[in-house]
Amino acid sequence: MTLQDLPWGFWNGLTAWVVLVVHIFGGWREFPVFDIARNGNWYDFGFLLGAGSPLLGAAGAGRRSRTTSTVEGAARRHDPRQTV
């Protein structure tokens, strides 16, 4: 339950997706998805950040590109000074 558990939780969260897929197919039984030996709030917080960061990053990148193109397209359609 120390602050040192935060990076371990983050690392285990990042690698949890790969380990989970390999576990589904029956491999890597010696590597757990969640390290129960490191319990505590800092480890749990790091694990959640690590496991959620790829998903949040992908969702944010997709949303930004669509929003930017939609806003720019709307501005071009409604700008009377712009010639075609």
Cα–Cα dist 74/67, whole Å: 11
> Looking at the predicted structure, is the pLDDT value of residue 44 above 60?
yes
| Mean model confidence pLDDT for the chain | 76
Please state the pTM of the whole predicted model: 0.60
- The domain in which residue 17 lies consists of 5-77
In a domain, 82, yes or no: no
Let me know the angle formed at the C-alpha of 12 by 8 and 14, rounded to the nearest 5 degrees: 120
In a domain, 84, yes or no: no
Dump the DSSP string for 22-82: HHHTT--TTS-SS-TTS-SHHHHHHHHHHHHHHHHHHHHHHHHHHHHHHHHHHHHHT-TT-
In a domain, 9, yes or no: yes
Residue 1: the pLDDT is 65
Domain count, the chain: 1
pLDDT in tens, 23-33: 888 887 777 77
In a domain, 83, yes or no: no
